[in-house]
């Protein structure tokens, strides 16, 4: 974990994201207090923002009561770990209703997340990420995000937008007019004051393809011009842009993608 700090410094980034534990196992890594303290000092010295990504196993719409309790515990622990490390918040997926529809699960989601966010350390945010829409995943449409977030405290529960997920869900954010429409719709249904971070990813999937498949910056179907449109939009200024891409040489962290994103954003 401490090794992330010199890597971030070498990349010259201002924000980073990682998993506090394996994203594909309920077994957690224990973060010792000494490690957490050293990490907090490193963050402050480098002027870095830290965001934790929640486990992929969490599903707040599951019918399995044991799995739901595991999801609740996992998110609660991620929030505690994030606070210990000096992070800003935990970004996570809501899960899948598996064909039952949002109406059947929205109450369960809200009654799960409300207490977790309310009891989390005051220094960290509970951050819902939009989905691409595959497999009944929740949050691919603004109507879904709005229905859930309006029932949760605005000061504790925020939103992270993933550009690839938006594109795959059918939002033409690669075009100026399409992005303007999306931003206005997001503000009306969710609220721009909820937006705290952007997962900036290109897409292997066509517009409206409904599948979560990321591509390196400029190599996908959003493309360099689309990424430029997004990074230059007024709604996204002063937000952290976090990369979740395959890597040009399939190794991460990836200096090439950081350089591409920086060049496009500054052009």
Residue 49: strand pairing partners: 15
CA 206, CA 222: separation in Å to the nearest integer? 9
Residues 6+ apart with CB under 8 A from 234: none
Residues 6+ apart with CB under 8 A from 107: none
* Alpha carbon distance, N-terminus to C-terminus of the chain: 33
The rounded mean pLDDT for the chain is: 97
Residue 118 has pLDDT above 90, yes or no: yes
Give all strands (DSSP E) within the chain, no chain letters: 15-19, 49-53, 89-92, 125-129, 157-162, 195-199, 202-203, 214-215, 241-242
Residue 252 has pLDDT above 90, yes or no: no
Task: State pLDDT tens for residues 33-90.
Answer: 999 999 999 999 999 999 999 999 999 999 999 999 999 999 999 999 999 999 999 9
Question: Are the C-beta atoms of 216 and 246 separated by less than 8 Å?
Answer: yes
Residue 106: asked if its preceding bond is cis (omega within 30°), the reply is no
Q: Band of the pLDDT at 137, cuts 50, 70, 90?
A: very high
Residue 15: strand pairing partners: 49
User: Crossing angle, helix 33-46 and helix 65-85, to 10 degrees?
Assistant: 60
CA 92, CA 172: separation in Å to the nearest integer? 23
8 by Cβ neighbours in 10 Å (0-12 / 13-18 / 19+) ranks as buried
Residues 6+ apart with CB under 8 A from 17: 50, 51, 52, 53, 91, 242, 244
CATH superfamily of 4-266: Divalent-metal-dependent TIM barrel enzymes (3.20.20.150)
CA 127, CA 37: separation in Å to the nearest integer? 24
Question: According to the model, what pLDDT value does residue 44 have?
Answer: 97
Question: According to the model, what pLDDT value does residue 249 have?
Answer: 87
Task: State pLDDT tens for residues 185-229.
Answer: 999 999 999 999 999 999 999 999 999 999 999 999 999 999 999
Question: Can you tell me the mean pLDDT for 87-104?
Answer: 96
Question: According to the model, what pLDDT value does residue 192 have?
Answer: 98
Q: Band of the pLDDT at 250, cuts 50, 70, 90?
A: confident
Task: State pLDDT tens for residues 142-154.
Answer: 999 999 999 999 9
């Amino acid at each position: 974990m401490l090794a992330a700090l010199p890597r971030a410094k070498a990349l010259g980034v201002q924000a980073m994201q990682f998993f506090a534990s394996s994203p594909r196992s309920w077994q957690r890594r224990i973060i010792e207090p000494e490690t957490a303290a050293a990490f907090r000092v490193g963050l402050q010295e480098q002027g870095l923002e830290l965001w934790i990504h929640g486990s992929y196993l969490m599903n707040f719409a599951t019918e399995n009561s044991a799995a739901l309790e595991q999801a609740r515990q996992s998110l609660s622990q991620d929030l505690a770990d994030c606070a210990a490390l000096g992070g800003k918040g935990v970004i996570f997926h809501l899960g899948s209703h598996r064909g039952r529809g949002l109406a059947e699960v929205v109450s369960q989601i809200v009654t799960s997340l409300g207490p977790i966010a309310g009891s989390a350390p005051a220094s960290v945010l509970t951050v819902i990420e939009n989905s691409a829409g595959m497999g009944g995943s929740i949050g691919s449409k603004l109507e879904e995000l709005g229905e859930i977030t309006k029932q949760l405290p605005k000061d504790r529960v925020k939103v992270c937008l993933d550009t690839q997920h938006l594109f795959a869900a059918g939002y033409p954010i690669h075009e100026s007019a399409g992005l303007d429409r999306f931003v206005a719709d997001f503000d009306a249904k969710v609220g721009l004051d909820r937006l705290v971070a952007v997962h900036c990813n290109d897409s292997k999937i066509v517009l409206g393809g409904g599948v979560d498949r990321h591509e390196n910056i400029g190599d996908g179907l959003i493309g360099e011009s689309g990424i430029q449109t997004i990074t230059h939009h007024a709604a996204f200024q002063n937000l952290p842009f976090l990369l979740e891409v395959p890597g040009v040489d399939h190794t991460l962290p990836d200096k090439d993608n950081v350089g591409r994103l920086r060049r496009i954003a500054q052009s």
